[in-house]
Structure 1
Amino acid sequence: MTLDDLTSRHRPSRARRYANVAVLGAGAWGTALASVARRGGANVRLWGRREAVVDDINTNARNDTFLPGIDLPAGIAATTDLAAALNGAEVVLIVVPSHSIRGLCADIAPLIGPGVPVALCAKGIEESTGFLMGQIARSELPGHPVGVISGPTFADETAMGYLTAATVAFDFTYQDRLSPFDSPAARLAVTMSTEHFRAYVSDDLVGVEVGGAVKNVIAIACGMMTGAGFAKNTRAALITRGMDEMKRLAEALGGKRETVTGLSGAGDLTLTCSSESSRNMSLGVQLGAGTPRNECFEGKPVVVEGELNAISVTNLARRVHVSMPICEAVRAVLHDGADLRGTFARLWSSPIESEPRAMGLSLDHPSATPSNTPMTEAT
């Protein structure tokens, strides 16, 4: 064996694209991902529930309900027929809200081809079970490789072709290790990669999913402080310490801390916490400014994933004994009726800790009082 043989595994190699892609969910993100796959040359079938949305895509190459004013690539075949969308699919992207994942997986189980990989494009943790989205899909779709697509991605920018990067993560089997270029992660990554969309490959499904779920809760915290009149220093601190909470939970569940510093962790967290284009950030801003929850978003029933995940994330953290004080603060304000300013004052006067955590140092904060109990441990 020569040196070239030993080093060849580090050289770029070609993976086979999937020719036929089914995208389930014709909202903004589903339509954006369908556009990416189509621009990459795949035959794309896009399933949606609304006839008007499907007709708009097929007739006008537009989805003005969810992506107003954006032209889509020609050739996306939209349908309201789930079986038709899945017929012949070599890979399936599921792009519906996290609370709909289990039901849709159950619906497609008898319709999807044997062994077809499924990539989830929703972020969250199931409240009743504490399952990540991948665990839900595996329980409903045994025999199918399950992965995720996650990263710092706003749907409108992706659909318009702005330069975007994301992570494609699947658990790697023994066979995937032997032939990584044939793995579902590699094949989906090249399928989705175009001159505008760049995919990275990961084998840390847990780490990627934890980043996606927790970042929404941290974004609400950043929004709350912004709306309450605090400035960039506060947001930077929340982003950084929020990433530490993500690392702790990922590691406790078997993920890698390194993953959280990548696109699906630090990247997604930074984007979501920096723009009111994020519904999570926007909700926090409105609440921080004193708008009652039922009046946020002009009273429209907008689903905000981080609002739901504030409970599921902290429940899971408590179960595995991981301290997540920022997420706990968001939960207290959103769901326990806690005062926003008082809650974050308690957070800021919690015991002084060390960076790195390995120092094990904890000091009483001078501003802490008996009525201002620190929020350091999840209870």
Structure 2
Amino acid sequence: MTKVAFLGAGSFGTALSLLLASKGIEISIWDRNESVINNININRRNSKYSKNIYIPDMITAYHSIREAVKDSSYIVLAVPSHAIRELCSKIKGIIPEEAIIISIAKGIEEGTNMRLSQVISDELDNPVVILSGPSHAEEVMANIPTTVVVSSTDMTCAERVQDLFMSPQFRVYTNDDIVGVEIGGAVKNIIALAAGVCDGIGFGDNAKAALMTRGMAEIIRVGEKLGGRAETFSGLTGMGDLIVTCTSVHSRNRRAGILIGKGMNLDETLKEVGMVVEGVKACRAFYKVKEELNVEMPITDILYKVLFDGKDPKDGVEELMSRDKKSETY
């Protein structure tokens, strides 16, 4: 029987584990939080992330990461982007050599500016597949139709992951542009955070549409510069993910932006949200990337100043709107 190990018991990892368990696949979950492990095994709940959703018996949680990954055909890294390298280092030498590593985080590594697939391959020799796209955990748990993309430098492995997750409610496409898939998923978090700021200030649909459209221009610019294909950014991991993250009540990036737009500082915002806001880390990382590559990313530039330099969000919007006139180009 196929066994899949989830390392991290957060919301999206839990949602995907429930999806696979419904297909009769044996699931193991490891998390560093002992109370989460006990809650799953004893109460059949993951109260922090999935509230009242029942955790079926096909899912077993482990305190030992070695026990969780034992005999696993697939290992899902279900932790935030900044924790990927440490986790890979922790499982090096104890995972099956033939196991496929699946990453569901979205971001790049601060300091090295490496994509997460590169970080994983830097630590492990296993094949790596990226799963990305517009997929809020809450809706996956509710069996609401969702569509995602898998990508890899080894597309045979990507197709195996496609088969693993495909269901009547969860459609999976393949895309061999792993650079575009990863960059689209990372930069859209910056734009979603900025969209939330606009909502918090009280702006309307006109501003949101403009921000998302010009945000897509930034995604395409930096994505192509890093080696991604333009058509990837019009797909699920670009435009699709941008739409859902900028507009949904489930989006923690948008939620954080709303609080900042209403006047909270970054520390207060992160404390209020209570979960990792990937857009904050992505903004800091891509601010440096754009400087190094000389890529024009005005929204990212202004958001960085709002988050880290104390710039007033309304002043930031005025600065964006008052830039020199130009032709609409990507």
Class of the TM-score when normalised by the shorter of the 2 chains: over 0.9
**Distance in 1 between residues matched to 2:4 and 2:305, nearest whole Å:** 42
Cα distance in structure 1, aligned partners of 2:24 and 2:223: 35
* Separation in structure 1 between the aligned mates of residue 50 and residue 146 of structure 2, nearest angstrom: 17
Aligned to 1:4: none
Contact 2:25 2:58 in 1 (8 A): no
Task: Indicate the percent of aligned positions where both proteins have the same amino acid.
Answer: 38
Q: Distance in 1 between matches of 2:257 and 2:290?
A: 22
Shift in Å, 1:66: 1.5
Q: Distance in 1 between matches of 2:68 and 2:239?
A: 34
Corresponding residue of 2:223: 250
Pairing 1:286–2:259 present: yes
Alignment of 1:5-154 (within 5 A): 19-141=2-124, 143-154=125-136
Residue 356 (structure 1) shift: 4.2
Q: Structure 1: any 5+ residue segments left out of the alignment? A: 1-17, 177-182, 358-379
TM-score w.r.t. the length of structure 1 is 0.83
- State the secondary structure of the residue aligned to 2:5: strand
Task: Check if 1:260 corresponds to 2:233.
Answer: yes
SS at match of 2:58: coil
| 1:319 corresponds to | 292
CA distance in 2 between counterparts of 1:233 and 1:316 reads 29
Displacement of 1:89 after TM fit?
1.0
Q: Indicate the larger mover: 216-225 or 62-71.
A: 62-71
Aligned: 1:184 with 2:187? no
Separation in 2 of the partners of 1:104 and 1:307? 21
**Partners in 1 of 2:256 and 2:290 — Cα distance?**
23
- CA shift in 2, pair 1:254/1:298, >3 Å: closer
Quote the residue 2:312 is aligned against.
Answer: 339
Tell me whether 64-73 or 293-302 shows the greater mean CA deviation: 293-302
SS at match of 1:273: helix
CA shift for structure 1 position 71: 2.3
Task: Name the stretch that deviates more: 70-79 or 228-237.
Answer: 70-79
Q: Which amino acid aligns with 2:133?
A: G
Letter paired with 2:138: D
Q: Which residue of 2 is the match for residue 5 of structure 1?
A: none
1:155 partner letter = A
| Correspondence for 1:162 | 144
The one-character-per-residue Cα deviations of 1:300-323 (angstroms, maximum 9, x if unpaired) are 654211111111012112222211
Amino acid in the other structure paired with 1:103: E
Query: 1:366 matched to which residue of 2?
Result: none
Separation of aligned partners in 2, 1:227 and 1:75: 42
Bigger Cα Rg: 1
Q: Amino acid of the residue matched to residue 43 of structure 2?
A: N
Partner of 1:211: 184
Q: Output the CA distance in 2 between the equivalents of 1:279 and 1:328.
A: 21
Deviations 1:171-199 (A, max 9, x none): 13xxx5xxxxxx11011011111121111
How many residue pairs get matched? 330
Please tell me whether the aligned partners of residues 129 and 161 of structure 2 are also in contact (alpha carbons under 8 angstroms). Answer: no
Does the 8 A contact of 2:190 with 2:279 survive in 1?
yes
The Cα of 1:297 is off from its aligned counterpart by 6.2
Cα distance in 1 for residues equivalent to 2:328 and 2:232: 19
Distance 1:130 1:66 in 2: 30
**CA apart distance, 1:148:** 1.0
- The amino acid of 1:137's aligned partner reads I
- What amino acid sits opposite 2:92 in the alignment? A
Matched residue, 1:363: none
TM-score, length basis structure 2: 0.95
Q: Following superposition of structure 1 onto structure 2, how do residues 364-379 of structure 1 map, counting pairs within 5 Å?
A: none
| Deviates further, 292-301 or 28-37 | 292-301
Conserved 8 A contact 2:150-2:173: yes
Cα distance, 1:356–1:323 mapped onto 2, change above 3 Å: closer
Q: Confirm or deny that 1:198 pairs with 2:171.
A: yes
Determine helix, strand or coil for the equivalent of 1:69.
Answer: coil
State the Cα distance separating 1:39 from its structure 2 match: 1.8
Distance, in Å, in 2 between the alignment partners of 1:82 and 1:127 is 26
Q: Indicate if the aligned counterparts of 1:207 and 1:250 stay in contact, CA closer than 8 A.
A: yes
> How far, CA to CA, are the matches of 2:205 and 2:56 in structure 1?
38
Aligned CA RMSD, in angstroms, stands at 1.7
Cα distance per residue 1:199-249 (max 9 Å; x no partner): 111111111111111111101111111111110111111111111111111
Cα distance 1:63–1:136, how it changes in 2: closer, same or farther (>3 A)?
same
Give 1:253 deviation, angstroms. Answer: 1.1
Deviation at 1:50, TM superposition (A): 1.9
**Matched letter for residue 290 of structure 1:** G
CA distance in structure 1 between the aligned counterparts of 2:116 and 2:200, rounded to whole angstroms: 31
Cα distance in 2 between the residues matched to 1:285 and 1:206: 30
Mapped to 2, the partners of 1:124 and 1:289 lie a distance apart of: 26
Letter in 2 for 1:207: G
